[in-house]
Amino acid sequence: MSERSAVQNPMLKYAQEIGWEYVTPGDALAFRGGDTGLYFTGILEAQLIRLNPSIVDLSRTPDILRSMNLLKPTIEGNKEAHSWLRGEQSVFVLEENRERNVKVIDFEHPENNVYHVTDEWWQKGTVYSNRADVVFLINGIPVAIAELKNATKQDGIALGVDQIRRYHKETPEMFVATQVFEVSQLLDFYYGVSWSTARKNLFNWHDEQPGNYEHKVKAFFSRSRFLRLVRDYVIFVTENDELTKKILRQHQTR
């Protein structure tokens, strides 16, 4: 049985059952404008206008999209992307003669956001191209990447983590806005934050039903919980003059 049918398809199925709309690889590529694209541009533009009445209109979206497309594929760029996701970036509103923060995700009213999941996400970088198994997007912005292995493969988790590390090195554009990654082979479900792939920063997702892959996926990607993860559980800190990124473990979020 292929990895796609054994692990990938169930994740897509469970994600759809909790409200993530599936987008085919072909449609996702079109929404991105090709394999160098970072976002579902049309969806992001529409959501910016919808979530920011009287602040963002069609005349202001080009500047916002330009800023987000110019984010560097580094941890510093990812921190700025996180700031956009948290609604901390602003635009100048001439009519009010002041800066106004731009809402990219509606954390208070989750139903106002658009949630997508897709697979076979090809990302072309400067030299290399890589393919992520599954990508989760909110309002057209990739926020999570899952690397999945067949349960019959020995050391499947280690292989998955190695691939995530390789993607960071070869196609860092894949992680411009992505905040977390997951690695699973049906038996275990590990998670960590992008730009911080050391083994000590990778955690096993425990839940009330150990070994239940469906429950693990649905609990981790519960839309309301995942919004809290993006806003509150991902943390950037400077240690010894170096920017690092962390995620709260389950017991810390309580």
Each residue's pLDDT tens digit, 146-162: 999 876 665 778 889 99
pLDDT at 210: 62
* 137 dihedral zone (left: phi>0; alpha: psi -120 to 50; beta): beta
What residues pair up with 182 in beta bridges, in sequence order? 146, 191
Each residue's pLDDT tens digit, 29-50: 999 999 999 999 999 999 999 9
**Residue 145: strand, helix, or coil:** strand
Each residue's pLDDT tens digit, 60-77: 999 999 999 999 999 999
pLDDT at 1: 41
Counting as low any pLDDT under 70, the low residues of the chain are 1-6, 151-154, 207-211, 250-254
**Residue 24: strand, helix, or coil:** coil
pLDDT at 95: 85
